[in-house]
Amino acid sequence: MGVTFVRATRCQVPAPPTCLSEYSKLCGTGEKKDAACATMVDKACGGTEKEASSVAHIEHLFAELSSVGQKVLQFNMLSTSGGQDALKESVDKHGGCPGNKTVYLYSAQCSADCNEACSNHCDMDCPYIAARFGYIMATPANKKAIDQDMECFKRCSKEKDATNDKCRVACKLAASLP
């Protein structure tokens, strides 16, 4: 007769994210929940065909950008891509995040809540969530400008001697805060 021990932890494996579960991380929980942010997320994730199209577009673009540019080694041996970082920089450049906040400021509550929930990748994941949401909420003119920046970065990255820094300069982007 064998005995199996199960080690209990306070951390649980999350379900695959949905639009609502992913972007509502930016709004806080409980008493810290930002009602205006929650309303924006509800609108973006359950809104019209226009919002649904914007959500689908940025998710596709973000996946595409994962293979654009040089890989950047981050915390815990995880890497990001220059393309994904360029998206954060472009959203900041064009004031995409609600309240004219930077991607990092907009992701602050997500990072705080995420750290309490035992995730190892909060400092990386939350700013990317904020950048994607900033794109969704950006004005049509700002979305167009961000798309142009991403096209520029993708073209530059295909060059033989292209580096992330060279492409940032070529596309007039500035490195985001760590």
This prediction has a pTM of 0.83
Is 17 among the domain residues? no
DSSP string over 74-110: -GGG-EEEHHHHHHHHHHHHTT-SGGG--HHHHTHHH
Is 6 among the domain residues? no
Is 111 among the domain residues? yes
- The confidence score (pLDDT) of residue 8 equals 42
Which of 101, 102, 105, 65 minimizes the C-alpha distance to 85?
65
Q: Which amino acid is at 34?
A: D
Tens digit of pLDDT per residue, the chain (178 long)? 454 444 444 445 555 678 888 899 899 888 888 899 999 999 888 877 777 788 889 999 999 999 999 887 666 667 788 999 999 999 999 977 888 888 988 888 888 777 665 555 666 788 999 999 999 999 999 999 999 999 999 999 999 889 999 999 999 998 665 4
Is 128 among the domain residues? yes
Is 64 among the domain residues? yes
Is 8 among the domain residues? no
Phi, psi of 14 (to 5 degrees): -75, 155
User: Please, what sign has the CA dihedral across residues 74, 76, 80, 86?
Assistant: negative
Per the structure, the count of domains in the chain is: 1
Is 156 among the domain residues? yes
Structural domain of 146:
27-170
- The confidence score (pLDDT) of residue 80 equals 81
Q: Hunting for tokens 């949401």 — which residue is that?
A: 133
- The confidence score (pLDDT) of residue 74 equals 65
Is 32 among the domain residues? yes
